[in-house]
């Protein structure tokens, strides 16, 4: 536990500092690089939260695709060095962000959360990691899942099962959304047929 706590605090400091850097650093390129640091830290959080699959996805999509795209965009536009200027709303935005933070922290601390019972934590962890691990019978037995029915249940309830099972409709909708977004992006950046510029 201690190791994990230390890792958590290191990741937290890293994430918060990098996030501040993204917002405040003047050099856009550096801001983009700091964004990658934030993404990596968040991936670390996911590992800590036994969501290994999401951690992998985070690295692949955010670091591998989104951050790179943003870096391309930064390179393709001007004012890379001194581009990150504040606008006139800095003070109200800061006030608002602080207020929201206060509210969120209050809520997080004050709320009486309905925690997962400790006897279920093992099984929940098994289920949550099942998307990236093949659960052998031994592991299940070690974790206290002994009856064949329970084992079958735990094995049959991975993330993939959910995505193409209970959540298949949103899954398909999101697929269409992605397609639409791709087409839209193509339409937006396409050269203007009238002027030929672009």
Partner 1 sequence: MSFEAFLIVAAILFCIGLFGALARRNVLVVLMSIELMFNAVNVTLVAMAKYLAPAALQDDISSVLTGQVFAVFIVTVAAAEIALGLGIVFAMYRTNESVDLTEATQLRH
Partner 2 sequence: MITEALIWAIFLLPLGSFAFSALVVRPFFNRYSLVSGIVTIGALGTAFAFSIWTLRSVIVHHDLNFEPIEWLEVGGATIEMGLLIDPLTAIMLVVVTGVSLLVQSYSLGYMEGDKSFCRYYSYMSLFTAAMLGLVLASNIIQLYVFWELVGVSSYLLIGFWHERPAAAAAAKKAFIITRIGDVGFLIAILYLFAKADEFAAAGLNAFHIPDIWQAAQPEAALGAVLGGTALTWLALGIFAGAAGKSGQFPLHAWLPDAMEGPTPVSALIHAATMVAAGVFLVARFFPVFEHSADAMMVVALVGAFTAVFAATMGLVMNDIKRVMAYSTISQLGYMMAALGLGLYAPAIFHLVTHAAFKALLFLGAGSVNHATGTFDMRYMGGLRRVMPVTYVLVLMSGLSLVGIIPLAGFWSKDEILLGAWDGSSVLDTWVNRVTFSALLAGVIMTAFYTIRMIILTFHGEFRGGVETELMEKAQTVPAGAADHGGVHLHESPLVMVLPMVVLGIAAVALGYLANPQWDMGIPKHWITGFLADGLGAALGLEGHGEALEFSWWMALVSTGAALAGVLLALVIYLRRKGKGADPLEHAGPLHTLLAQKYYVDTLYEDVIVRKGFFKVIAGTLDWIDRNLVDGIVDLIGWFFRNIGSAIGKFQTGQVQAYATGIAFGILAIILALLLAQ
- Can you give the binding site for partner 2, defined by CB under 8 A? 87, 89, 92-93, 96, 99-100, 103, 106-107
Q: How far apart, in Å, are the Cα atoms of 58 and each of 41, 66, 102, 136, 138?
A: 10, 10, 28, 26, 30
Q: Taking CB under 8 A as the rule, does residue 186 contact partner 1?
A: yes
Structure tokens at 179: 């397609």
Neighbours of 57 (CB within 10 A): 15
The entry of partner 1, partner 2, none that residue 160 binds, CB within 5 to 8 Å by partner kind? none
Give me the least distance between CB of 87 and partner 2, in Å please: 6
Q: Taking CB under 8 A as the rule, does residue 185 contact partner 1?
A: yes
Q: Taking CB under 8 A as the rule, does residue 143 contact partner 1?
A: no
What is the 3-class SS of 67-84, one letter each residue? HHHHHHHHHHCCCCCCCC
Nearer to partner 1, 90 or 136 (CB): 90
Q: Taking CB under 8 A as the rule, does residue 64 contact partner 1?
A: no
Neighbours of 124 (CB within 10 A): 13
Nearer to partner 2, 88 or 190 (CB): 88
């Amino acid at each position: 536990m201690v190791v994990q706590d230390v890792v958590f605090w290191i990741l937290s400091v890293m994430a918060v500092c990098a996030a501040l850097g993204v917002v405040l650093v003047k050099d856009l390129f550096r801001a983009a690089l700091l964004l990658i640091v934030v993404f990596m830290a968040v991936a670390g959080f996911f590992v800590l939260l036994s969501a290994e699959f999401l951690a992998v996805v985070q690295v692949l999509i955010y670091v591998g695709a989104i951050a790179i795209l943003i870096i391309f965009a930064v390179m393709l536009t001007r004012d890379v060095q001194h581009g990150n200027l504040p606008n006139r709303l800095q003070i109200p935005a800061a006030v608002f962000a602080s207020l929201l933070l206060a509210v969120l922290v209050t809520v997080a601390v004050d709320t009486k959360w309905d925690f997962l019972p400790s006897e279920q934590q093992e099984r929940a962890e098994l289920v949550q990691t099942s998307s990236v691990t093949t659960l052998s019978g031994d592991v299940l037995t070690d974790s206290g899942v002994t009856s064949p029915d329970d084992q079958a249940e735990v094995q049959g309830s991975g993330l993939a099962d959910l995505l193409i099972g209970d959540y298949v409709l949103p899954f398909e909708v999101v697929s269409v959304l992605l397609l639409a977004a791709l087409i839209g992006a193509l339409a937006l950046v396409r050269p203007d047929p009238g002027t030929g510029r672009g």
